[in-house]
Amino acid sequence: MKWFDYAAPASLSEAVGLLTAHPGARLLAGGTDLLVQLRAGRKETDLVVDAKHIPELNAISYDAARGLTLGASVPCYRIYKDKNVTGAYPALAEVASLIGGTQIQGRASIGGNLCNAAPSADSVPLLIALHGTCRIAGPRGSREIAVEDFCTAPGRTVLQPGELLVSLHLPPPAPHSGARYLRFIPRNEMDIAVAGAGVEVVLENGRFRSARVALSSVAPTPLYVREAGEALAGSPVDEASIAAAAEIARKSAKPITDMRGTADYRSHLCAVLTRRALEAAVLRARGKN
């Protein structure tokens, strides 16, 4: 690894100051992407700014009326051990326990998963399905943006020089709602998704009141499939509605062929995973899981 300096700012304003003064600086959360990439020479930096001592980035808070605020650098193991998360957002706890293995979960954050902007990032489809928003701080103050608008290309995000992701916000779960993320990997653990689907459904009188579907690993960025949710809204909760939404997901995917799978295979997986994730989310919304 090339030489870099290290700073551990204790406040948001100090961090923004450092990032603004050093355009080549990189933020360090759990380092499970960043340190691998620096070592492999895929990224370079002259200053690593440790995000974990900034209070706003390291806190989880939940309020039944306002929802969840998840600091960008909170590691996965703290997320799935958090009683509010397991109670109100079980699908988020599941995703946090799916990224890597025990050791990776001791370090890896959801903020890092999003900012790394890999198409395969496992948490991102679920964050999109759960109406997640990003709070961003920078030299010109702070702004909010929907998670589905955050990644712009592989490895690229909307963050401007001097900006960082402070936290992710999820609204409180609606009554009779359920969410689920499912991915396909060739092993049981520790692999990169060939494809993945994150969904949320809200049910009302035997119909979908609303639904959201997003996919991983099948486009240059995590992909929000708005039309799938729109097709479900108002439809009866049955096999035909779910199959129609799964077909929309399949058609929306723009996968590539690589060593993990062919484009055709990935499209097929999108339909299967969307259907299964919707079925699981419906069960959860009915209080059956």
Binding flag, residue 218, other proteins (CB under 8 A): no
Cβ nearer to ligand FAD, comparing 25 with 231? 25
- d(C-alpha 112, C-alpha 29), whole Å: 6
Residue type present at position 120:
S
Binding flag, residue 188, other proteins (CB under 8 A): yes
- d(C-alpha 264, C-alpha 257), whole Å: 8
Q: Which of 1, 21, 36, 153 binds ligand FAD (CB under 6 A)?
A: 36
Size, binding site for ligand FAD by CB under 6 A: 32
Binding flag, residue 35, other proteins (CB under 8 A): yes
Closest CA to 255 of 199, 193, 204: 193
Closest CA to 121 of 168, 177, 176, 164: 168
Binding flag, residue 122, ligand FAD (CB under 6 A): yes
Binding flag, residue 189, other proteins (CB under 8 A): yes
- Residue 193 CB, nearest approach to other proteins (Å): 16
Applying CB under 8 A, the span of 31-39, 148-156, 223-231, 270-278 interacting with other proteins comes to: 31-39
- d(C-alpha 212, C-alpha 114), whole Å: 18
Q: Which of 21, 24, 36, 161 binds other proteins (CB under 8 A)?
A: 36
Helices assigned H by DSSP within the chain: 12-21, 34-39, 76-80, 83-88, 90-96, 102-105, 110-115, 123-129, 226-232, 239-252, 263-285
Taking CB under 6 A as the rule, which mask of x and - marks residues 128-167 in contact with ligand FAD?
Answer: -------------------------------x----xx--
Residues from 107 through 166 that contact other proteins (CB under 8 A): 107
DSSP state, 261? B
What strand order describes the sheet that includes 141-146? 60-63, 67-71, 164-170, 133-138, 141-146
- d(C-alpha 253, C-alpha 258), whole Å: 15
Binding flag, residue 266, ligand FAD (CB under 6 A): no
- d(C-alpha 136, C-alpha 119), whole Å: 21
148 interacts with, out of ligand FAD, other proteins, none, CB within 5 to 8 A per kind: none
Binding flag, residue 99, ligand FAD (CB under 6 A): yes
Q: Which of 59, 60, 104, 256 binds other proteins (CB under 8 A)?
A: 104
Neighbouring residues of 37: CB distance < 8 A, sequence distance ≥ 6: 43
Size, binding site for other proteins by CB under 8 A: 31
Applying CB under 8 A, the span of 25-33, 111-119, 150-158, 223-231 interacting with other proteins comes to: 25-33
Closest CA to 117 of 219, 269, 241: 219
- d(C-alpha 183, C-alpha 185), whole Å: 7
Q: Which residues bind other proteins (CB under 8 A)?
A: 1-6, 8, 28, 30-32, 35-36, 38-40, 48, 50, 52, 75, 77, 100-104, 106-107, 188-190
Q: Which residues bind ligand FAD (CB under 6 A)?
A: 26-34, 36, 51, 57, 72-73, 99-100, 104, 107-109, 111-113, 115-116, 120-122, 159, 164-165, 190
